[in-house]
Amino acid sequence: MADSFKIDFQAHGKVESGDLIVFVGENLKPTAAVAKQLGPKAVDLIAKAAAAESFKGKAKSAMSIVVPTGLSVDRLIVIGTGGEKDRANVDFAQLGGLIAGKVNGKLATVVLDLPETEVSPEAAADMALGAQLRRYSFDRYKTKKKDEDDGKGGGRLVFSVADPAAVKKAYKAREAVQQGVILARDLVNEPPNVLGPQEFAARAQALTKLGVEVEILDDKAMKKLGMGALLGVAQGSVRGGRVAIMRWNGGKANDKPIAFVGKGVVFDTGGISIKPGAGMEDMKGDMAGAACVVGLMHALASRKAKANVVGAIGLVENMPDGNAQRPGDIVTTMSGQTIEIINTDAEGRLVLADVLWYVQDRFKPKFMIDLATLTGAIMVALAQEYAGLFSNNDELAERLTAAGKATGERVWRMPLGPEFDKMIESKFADMKNSAGRFGGSSTAASLLQRFVNDVPWAHLDIAGTAMGSPATEINKGWSSGWGVRLLDRLVRDHYEAR
């Protein structure tokens, strides 16, 4: 990310140059401390400019005063914090992103003193994280750089805070998360010719430099393990499949690990049940679950999380081919259960069936959470605002829901149960891989559940949130890196030794 900010934290003091950012409520007055720093003339100027611009101090609104009289800065940028209700639930990452979208100089200083709102060191660090995520763009394949710089690249962003040391410390952990989100975004954005199963596995392997142990299973190893469902999907591609297993051991030696599993279909044509052409290019993002797991492992390892964590991703390409699997085929999974293929486009569940089983069998984890761009149906239910959450465990579901509220990566619990499970019964095998349109996300989740024994498990259907979701203040691009912040938060809040 070439255009990120250089972030600094400093103690409150006079600001002489660049952009100066201050906050006001609906009364258009900055806090007493900021008013004192600016002087009465500048406070008056804000009120006058607000009247001229019809700026009301509403939450998420902003006003710029260019070369403000009486101050030596280039611009005074005034951000509204709204009324009491708005102040009660500020999303600091989004607020940081908003600010990043307003500044355009070489230097900008944000005076972190909000009217009647406490800004903890954690919140300040979240703002810096949000500002950095806002700056992300994926332009690796644009050979012609923009003629004139759009003025939005680089620069220094300084946060003027009460306790710079505390914020610096909190931001160190956020920087790890930031890199994890950006890694996930990059992986999803990469074109599918560049990122096949093997190349993706190599990106996972690169985490060894952070102290992550990585193992790669190739087709031969998977065959030996009996991963017939994953291999059935992979067999239509000349590129073969891979499973990458990443282990971060930051917890106590005998502590059971927590586990994250990702769908990594590097390109989903649908296979023999081929998809329509329009929009098929988006299916390069069908590995967003795997990208999130790699990004999360990167974040946890670089902030040296005090937890034992396993990340496992199933990497395949779903292609139509002379050797591709057919509707009607029956595959035998690693668990021994058989699956009748009804639709070769319902491939993600086949991949996950084997990887979930493998992880549960080998690692006996405390819990397993899988992430997958699994069904179009989840967008029919939840648009691109929430990820679908399916779980066999209320505590895990509640913790995920809380982490979702805290990070803005929201999840909504969806049903599992015998009704849905019955719908995937097959005439010829133990189950079938597609039950048609009705309840499509729940029947997909039900198939996954057949590969999960007693371990607490949650499945996140991220088909809507991982890519092409509506722009926010911290994400202006196609891929969002969804899930890295959510799961980092879950780990931080509940699964780290203190």
The binding site comprises 263, 268, 286, 345, 347
* Residues 288, 292, 298, 302, CA torsion sign: positive
With respect to ligand BES, which residue has the nearer C-beta, 37 or 373? 373
Beta bridge partners of 388: 412, 461
Which of the residues 346 through 405 are near Mn ion (CB under 5 A)? 347
Cα separation, 7 vs 167, in Å, equals 11
Cα separation, 150 vs 128, in Å, equals 21
Nearest 10 degrees: Cα torsion 87, 93, 99, 105: 150
What is the token pair recorded at 69?
């009289």
For 256-273, b/e burial (b = at least 16 CB within 10 A) is ebbbbbbbbbbbbbbbbb
Q: Where does residue 479 rank: exposed (0-12), middle (13-18), buried (19+ CB within 10 A)?
A: buried
* Three-state DSSP class for residue 391: strand
Of the candidates 60, 102, 106, 275, the residue annotated as catalytic is: 275
**Contact call for residue 370 and ligand BES (CB under 6 A):** no
With respect to Zn ion, which residue has the nearer C-beta, 317 or 421? 317
**Contact call for residue 268 and Mn ion (CB under 5 A):** yes
Residue whose beta carbon is closest to ligand BES: 376
Size of the site for Mn ion (CB under 5 A): 3
Q: 376 touches which of Zn ion, Mn ion, ligand BES, none (CB within 5 to 8 A by kind)?
A: ligand BES
Q: How far is the CB of 463 from Zn ion (least distance, A)?
A: 8
Cα separation, 124 vs 380, in Å, equals 36
**Contact call for residue 266 and ligand BES (CB under 6 A):** no
Ramachandran angles phi, psi of 229, nearest 5°:
-75, -45
349: annotated active-site residue: yes
**Contact call for residue 268 and Zn ion (CB under 5 A):** yes
H helix count then E strand count, the chain:
16, 17
Residue whose beta carbon is closest to Zn ion: 268
> Which part of the chain contacts Zn ion (CB under 5 A), choosing from 66-74, 347-355, 424-432, 490-498?
347-355
Contact code string over 202-241 relative to ligand BES, x by CB under 6 A: ----------------------------------------
**Contact call for residue 440 and Zn ion (CB under 5 A):** no
Q: In the chain, what is the greatest distance between 2 CA atoms, to the nearest angstrom? A: 82
- Binding-site residues for Mn(2+) sit at 263, 268, 286, 345, 347
**Contact call for residue 377 and ligand BES (CB under 6 A):** yes
Selected binder of ligand BES within 19, 317, 345, 488 (CB under 6 A): 345
List, edge to edge, every strand of the sheet that includes 107-111: 6-11, 156-161, 107-111, 19-24, 75-80, 62-66
**Contact call for residue 317 and ligand BES (CB under 6 A):** no
Catalytic machinery residues: 275, 349
Binding site for Zn ion (CB under 5 A): 265, 268, 286, 348
Binding site for ligand BES (CB under 6 A): 268, 286, 343, 345-348, 373, 375-377, 434, 440, 463
Binding site for Mn ion (CB under 5 A): 268, 345, 347
